Amino acid sequence: MKHGIAGVLILSSLYLVGCSSLPTVEREPEEERDRGPAQPVDLSHVPDAVPRQEVRTRAGNSNPYTVLGRTYHLLDDETDYKERGIASWYGKKFHGRYTSNGEVYDMYAMTAAHKKLPIPSYVRVTNLDNGRSVVVRVNDRGPFHDGRIIDLSYAAAQRLGFVDQGTAPVEVEIIVPDGKAPAPLRVENSGGHVEGGAFLQVGAFSSETAARAQADRVSGLTDQEALVISPAGDDQLYRVRLGPFTETTQLHQVQELLRQGEISQAHIVYDR
């Protein structure tokens, strides 16, 4: 199973509940199971993902796309999506690798992989065995394993209480930020160029001093001058960004340099 590509989704664009019968939850063979951290880590304090409007890029949203000889189509309208099925999780095997939209997978963040929801999307996942719920941000594709509808980060699976067994019956429901229509897709052309350019955001700070310290750090790692974006309106955060990038290859190269410098939370934004 490959990530940048991760979990199974049997769904339609209708409001799906699927309450009647769920597949039997089975333990994976020991040799096929992914792993969490070497030492137990308590992630009960990790907050849910916070739904917000984000521009959707072509990265991660190729439609249709083909994996392992099977072709998948993204949902035309996900605003009523709700489904029950089996969830799994992925961890150390993919930690630090790129997700489908060019971000770096962090098994300690509240994220998920899904076959047919646009990237990014936000969903509430409820463990039907114990009633626990989390909100995660979908930024990856998969899992391409029969009978599963979503693949969760290690942190999300721990919060839901099924890390040890590997899978669990869940309900997955879309969350539309602010009740507004999904953000439009931003198109990359066939040459790998991004219309209007893109930035990598590497932090948001309430302190200008902290923001400038982060800017100095990432500039040293990448040989690119980082920008400190001052607060605007009611927003009191100083944002640190690199860019703009007009070629996806260059953007991914800089992401890799940041990852090597132990900065794994950089994400793509399009408004300066």
The 10s digit of each residue's pLDDT in 108-121 is: 999 999 999 999 99
Which amino acid type is present at position 205? F
Average pLDDT, the chain: 79
Output the six-digit token pair for 14: 């209708």
Q: Rounded to an integer, what distance in angstroms lies between the CA atom of residue 77 and that of residue 176? A: 11
Confidence at residue 167, expressed as pLDDT on a 0 to 100 scale: 95
- pLDDT: which is higher, 30 or 196: 196
User: Is a pLDDT exceeding 70 seen at residue 94?
Assistant: yes
Q: Reply yes or no on whether the pLDDT at 140 is more than 80.
A: yes
Model pLDDT, residue 15: 31
Closest C-alpha to 186, from 73, 101, 129, 116: 101
Rounded to whole angstroms, the Cα distance separating 12 from 9 reads 9
Residues in the chain: 272
pLDDT band for 12, please (50, 70, 90 cuts).
very low
Report the share of the chain in percent with pLDDT over 70: 78
Tell me 117's DSSP state.
S
Tens of pLDDT, residues 48-58: 999 988 878 77
Residue 211 clears pLDDT 70, i.e. is over it: yes
d(CA 56, CA 184): 6
Better-scored residue on pLDDT, 17 or 266: 266
Region 176-194: mean pLDDT is 64
Percentage of the chain with pLDDT > 90? 34
Cα distance between residue 16 and residue 183, in whole Å:
23
Sheet strands side by side (includes 238-247): 227-229, 238-247, 193-205, 267-269
Q: Report the pLDDT value the prediction gives residue 135, as an integer from 0 to 100.
A: 96
CATH of range 188-269; options 3.30.70.270, 3.30.70.1070, 3.30.499.10, 3.40.50.300: 3.30.70.1070
- pLDDT per residue as tens digits for the range 61-88: 888 888 888 899 999 889 999 999 999 9
- Structural domain 30-179, CATH architecture: Beta Barrel (2.40)
β-pair partners for 70? 67
Report the SS3 class of residue 253: helix
**pLDDT tier for residue 271 given thresholds of 50, 70 and 90:** low
Report d(CA 89, CA 153) in Å as an integer. Answer: 6
| C-alpha–C-alpha distance, residues 163 and 213, integer Å | 37
pLDDT for position 174: 96
Domain ranges of the chain: 30-179, 188-269
The yes-or-no verdict on residue 270 having pLDDT over 80 is no
Q: What is the pLDDT of residue 136?
A: 96
> Residue 145 above 90 pLDDT?
no
